[in-house]
């Protein structure tokens, strides 16, 4: 087993699915010779040829149209949208078409498309590159949305996403790409598409987070532990559907919960989690549901990102408040 | 720069001449029913020409019957097709069963010709899932988001090329308004970039609901838009079924041989409203505009050619109309007998593997539905 970065783990997973299924195709802007602007697909065109890994013209709606049409002719497409902000150009393709097509056919045809796209703040990108836009997609029936928070899950989830016959939006966190390493098996393994994971056990309070905020939550949990507050941290991994069973089981143990997201408060995943908890587990709670989220401004100008993105201190403060309620 | 000196580039001249290669519509039979290209017409047997006429009578009768059904409240959204028979039947008959059709909402007649039933067409209009499930698997349901069918065509065509399928193309329709969509360009351009086999039809019927063709673009023709993507294109008299068929066949041959896509602009006219849902053309266009198009009717034209040949009679046509009407009434009965739809099924089709929340909702609706 080798230590691998998050981005290398995704590359390794893509290598695996290209190897396993000759109908898989990777395409998008710069994914071929250049290996993607972040090098996520590096080496794959050399290994599998231009027929399987290829550049497209610069047009995101066209890329999604390509994915849908290729599905109709028996292929298993893995398109890349270079940055999540660019998914707006492919909104009809993803939300208006891809997510609905299996339903429209009354289940007769599958559209096994995995749309990969990088997102997430903290790397001082240009505008429209880092926004957390997941809520536009998690409110779309028919589409699965997953995002790994560590290299191990990154490889296992990308393989599951590609093997799934449902369309999946696979969100890759820009800041995590090269900032963390993990033991990642060389061989094939999968991580289920619709399951959250307890990444730190605790007994006093549950912190639910996803993507880069999982690490921030773990840092907060370390700080809380010094004051004998034992925090359990859950990584959602799947944003649609939400694995409420794992969350509810934890709340039955801790009776307190804080829900964390990097996206603006009004942008929904945390709100959905909080409403699920309120609906099913309110009688098990000893305190109000805490929420940590970015403020409801437009995504900040890059220089001010660190003042805006919720961090470990914000999570620690909210968790302390709820724990001591 | 000195006054009066010659400009390095003459944009006025470029602008005045840029449409020249694209504005000579292909025609075999003119509006008076005169054969202007006898050599092409001679390629068709009388039986083939009679078959064209039958298909146009079929489509015109389908149109009239659907308008009746609409008035009776027995259909949902329906886009009338009168006036576009030559464009629709002339084109679709140039394709083979293995070709993949990506229709828009005015293309139910082509879908039926390509391998589904009239009853399925009615079910689509009424809003029933069976209206999306066709005997010939090589077609999508009618696209509602104008332009989306064009980008999806790029994918189907690339898939055909990657599969190495022989003698197979994708073909797709939109209207004049559809050429203004970004997806229109992306679809044609992607297909060109991949040199994939597709034929892109633009049925220019003059109107995008109430907006006339000239307001869509400063381009003199819609066909010429293809040149920017390196794609050959042509205008064809869309009221002349032989010309439309001949051009469509040539386009299919060209694309199927691995030469990349083709764009065809058919010049036609929407006789009636945009849709059965309350559009009234008298709000935005005049009788004076309509008349020359009604006079150019594709059926009148073909009727004259066939009558001159002595292979068509009004009697024969009247009998056909009655037969078709019976067929459509029967199809409506069949559509009306389709099973009631269940929300639990909608939930089951939303994902291949239902999510836990959806599973719960399936159980809830199944309990309700079994009562």
Residues of A in contact with B140 (CB under 8 A): 72
Q: E strand or H helix at A292, and its extent?
A: strand A290-294
- Detail the DSSP E strand segments found in A136-274: 144-146, 168-173, 181-184, 197-200, 205-209, 231-235, 238-240, 257-264
Residues of B in contact with A25 (CB under 8 A): 162
Span B341-352, average pLDDT: 97
* pLDDT > 90? residue B126: yes
B56, two tokens: 């146009």
Q: Is there a domain that residue A190 lies in?
A: no
Question: CB-based burial of residue A305 (10 Å sphere; 0-12 exposed, 13-18 middle, 19+ buried)?
Answer: middle
| B52 contact A CB<8A | no
- Per residue in B107-119, pLDDT (tens digit) is 999 999 999 999 9
Nearest by CB to residue A106, choosing from B132, B154, B352, is: B132
Chain A residue at shortest CA distance from B168: A73
Q: Are residues A48 and A180 in the same domain?
A: yes
Nearest residue to B342 via CA among B148, B128, B31, B175: B128
Q: How confident is the model at residue B3 (pLDDT cuts 50, 70, 90)?
A: low
Beta bridge partners of B104: B143
Rounded Cα distance between A90 and A79, Å, is: 11
Domain CATH number, residue A246: 3.40.50.920
Q: Is there a domain that residue A107 lies in?
A: yes
Quick one: pLDDT at residue B6? 80
Q: Find the length of chain B.
A: 371
Q: Are residues A27 and A127 in the same domain?
A: yes
* pLDDT > 70? residue B18: yes
Looking at domain B16-338, its CATH architecture is 3-Layer(aba) Sandwich (3.40)
- Around B10, how many Cα atoms within 13 Å sit in the side-chain half-sphere? 7
Nearest-Cα distance to chain A for B244, in Å, is 26
- Around B151, how many Cα atoms within 13 Å sit in the side-chain half-sphere? 28
Chain A residue at shortest CA distance from B129: A106
Chain A residue at shortest CA distance from B196: A66
* pLDDT > 90? residue B2: no
Residues 81-140 of B with CB under 8 A from A: 100, 129-130, 132-133, 140
Q: Are residues A126 and A179 in the same domain?
A: yes
Is the Cβ pair A62, B187 closer than 8 Å? Answer: yes
| pLDDT, mean over chain B | 96
Quick one: pLDDT at residue B276? 84
Q: Domain limits of chain B?
A: 16-338, 340-371
Rounded Cα distance between A278 and A322, Å, is: 15
| B254 contact A CB<8A | no
pTM above 0.95, yes or no: yes
Q: What are phi and psi of A142, to 5 degrees?
A: 100, -15
Q: Are residues A103 and A250 in the same domain?
A: no
Quick one: pLDDT at residue A30? 98
Is the Cβ pair A110, B352 closer than 8 Å? Answer: yes
Quick one: pLDDT at residue B4? 63
Domain CATH number, residue A139: 3.40.50.970
Rounded Cα distance between B265 and B233, Å, is: 8
- Per residue in A26-77, pLDDT (tens digit) is 999 999 999 999 999 999 999 999 999 999 999 999 999 999 999 999 999 9
Question: CB-based burial of residue A285 (10 Å sphere; 0-12 exposed, 13-18 middle, 19+ buried)?
Answer: middle
Q: Are residues A48 and A150 in the same domain?
A: yes
Q: E strand or H helix at B17, and its extent?
A: helix B11-17
DSSP sequence for A44-82 = HHHHH-TTTEEE--S-HHHHHHHHHHHHHTT-EEEEE-S
Q: Is there a domain that residue A297 lies in?
A: yes
Quick one: pLDDT at residue A7? 98
Last residue of a domain, one of A184, A215, A242: A184
Spot the catalytic one: B60, B270, B301, B303: B270
Provide the number of structural domains found in chain A. 2
Quick one: pLDDT at residue A82? 97
Which regions in chain A score pLDDT beneath 70?
none
Q: What are phi and psi of A103, to 5 degrees?
A: -65, -45
- Per residue in B220-247, pLDDT (tens digit) is 999 999 999 999 999 999 999 999 999 9
Nearest residue to A291 via CA among A254, A321, A325, A318: A318
Beta bridge partners of A27: A54, A79
Q: What are phi and psi of A180, to 5 degrees?
A: -145, 150
Rounded percentage of chain B residues whose pLDDT exceeds 90: 96
- Per residue in B295-311, pLDDT (tens digit) is 999 999 999 999 999 99
Q: Are residues A7 and A80 in the same domain?
A: yes
Nearest by CB to residue A65, choosing from B155, B160, B356, is: B155
The string over A113-140, giving b where at least 16 C-beta atoms fall within 10 Å of a residue's C-beta and e elsewhere, is bbbbbbbbbbbebeeebbbbbbbbbbeb
Contact status, residue A308 vs residue A319, Cβ threshold 8 Å:
no
Look up the ipTM and state it.
0.96
* pLDDT > 60? residue B1: no
- Per residue in B28-83, pLDDT (tens digit) is 999 999 999 999 999 999 999 999 999 999 999 999 999 999 999 999 999 999 99
Contact status, residue B122 vs residue B163, Cβ threshold 8 Å:
no
Beta bridge partners of A197: A235
* pLDDT > 60? residue B187: yes
Rounded Cα distance between B176 and B46, Å, is: 33
Span B129-134, average pLDDT: 97
Q: Are residues A159 and A294 in the same domain?
A: no
Hey, is A311 helix, strand or coil?
A: coil
A129 is catalytic: yes
CA B317, distance to chain mean position in Å, is: 24
Is the Cβ pair B345, A106 closer than 8 Å? Answer: yes
Q: Are residues A208 and A115 in the same domain?
A: no
Domain containing A30 equals 2-184
């Amino acid at each position: 087993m080798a230590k691998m970065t998050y981005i290398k783990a995704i590359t390794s997973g893509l290598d695996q699915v290209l190897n396993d299924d000759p109908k898989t195709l990777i395409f998008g802007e710069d994914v071929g010779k250049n290996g993607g602007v972040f090098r996520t697909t590096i080496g794959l065109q050399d290994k599998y040829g231009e027929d399987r890994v290829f550049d497209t013209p610069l047009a995101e709606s066209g890329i999604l149209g390509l994915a849908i049409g290729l599905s109709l002719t028996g292929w298993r497409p893995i398109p890349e949208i270079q940055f999540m902000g660019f998914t707006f150009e492919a909104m009809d393709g993803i939300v208006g078409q891809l997510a609905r097509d299996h339903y429209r056919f009354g289940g007769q045809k599958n559209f096994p498309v995995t749309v990969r796209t990088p997102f997430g703040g903290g790397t001082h990108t240009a505008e429209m590159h880092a926004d957390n836009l997941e809520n536009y997609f998690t409110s779309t029936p028919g589409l699965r949305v997953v995002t790994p928070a560590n290299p191990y899950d990154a490889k296992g989830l990308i393989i599951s996403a590609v093997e799934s016959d449902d369309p999946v939006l696979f969100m890759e966190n820009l800041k995590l790409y090269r900032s963390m390493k993990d033991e990642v098996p060389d061989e094939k393994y999968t991580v289920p598409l619709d399951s959250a994971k307890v990444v730190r056990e605790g007994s006093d309070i549950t912190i639910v987070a996803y993507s880069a905020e999982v690490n921030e939550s773990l840092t907060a949990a370390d700080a809380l532990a010094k004051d004998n507050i034992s925090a359990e941290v859950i990584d959602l991994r799947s944003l649609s559907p939400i694995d409420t069973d794992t969350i509810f089981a934890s709340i039955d143990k801790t009776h307190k919960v804080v829900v964390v997201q990097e996206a603006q408060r009004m942008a929904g995943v945390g709100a959905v989690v909080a409403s699920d908890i309120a609906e099913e587990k309110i009688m098990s709670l000893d305190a109000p549901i805490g929420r940590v989220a970015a403020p409801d401004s437009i995504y900040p100008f890059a220089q001010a990102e660190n003042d805006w993105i919720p961090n470990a201190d914000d999570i620690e403060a909210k968790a302390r408040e709820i724990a001591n309620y | 720069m000195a006054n009066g000196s010659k400009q390095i580039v003459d944009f006025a001249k470029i602008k005045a001449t840029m449409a020249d290669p694209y504005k000579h519509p292909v025609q075999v039979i003119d509006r008076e029913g005169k054969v202007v290209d006898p050599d092409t017409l001679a390629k068709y047997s009388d039986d083939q020409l009679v078959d064209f006429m039958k298909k146009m009578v079929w489509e015109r009768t389908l149109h009239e019957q659907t308008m009746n059904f609409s008035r009776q409240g027995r259909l949902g959204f329906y886009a009338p097709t009168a006036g576009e028979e030559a464009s629709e039947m002339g084109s679709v008959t140039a394709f083979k069963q293995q070709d993949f059709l990506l229709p828009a909402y005015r293309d139910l007649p082509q879908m039926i010709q390509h391998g589904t039933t009239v009853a399925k067409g009615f079910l689509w209009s009424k809003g029933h899932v069976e209206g999306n499930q066709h005997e010939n698997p090589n077609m999508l349901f009618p696209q509602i988001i104008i332009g989306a069918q064009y980008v999806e065509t790029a994918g189907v065509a690339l898939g055909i090329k990657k599969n190495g399928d022989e003698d197979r193309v994708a073909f797709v329709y939109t209207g004049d308004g559809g050429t203004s969509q970004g997806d229109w360009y992306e679809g044609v351009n992607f297909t060109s970039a991949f040199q994939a086999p597709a034929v892109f039809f633009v049925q220019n019927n003059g109107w995008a609901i109430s907006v006339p063709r000239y307001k869509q673009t400063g381009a003199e023709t819609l066909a010429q838009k293809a040149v920017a993507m390196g794609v050959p294109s042509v205008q064809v008299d869309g009221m002349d079924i032989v010309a439309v068929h001949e051009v469509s066949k040539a386009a299919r041959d060209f694309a199927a041989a691995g030469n990349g896509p083709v764009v065809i602009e058919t010049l036609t006219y929407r006789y009636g409203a945009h849709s059965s849902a309350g559009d009234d053309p008298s709000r935005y266009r005049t009788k004076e505009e309509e008349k020359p198009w009604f006079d150019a009717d594709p059926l009148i034209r073909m009727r004259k050619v066939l009558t001159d040949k002595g292979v068509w009679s009004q009697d024969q046509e009247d009998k056909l109309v009655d037969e078709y009407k019976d067929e459509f009434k029967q199809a409506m009965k069949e559509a009306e007998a389709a099973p009631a739809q269940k929300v639990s099924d909608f939930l089951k089709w939303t994902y291949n593997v239902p999510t836990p929340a959806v599973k719960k909702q399936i159980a809830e609706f199944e309990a309700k539905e079994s009562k």
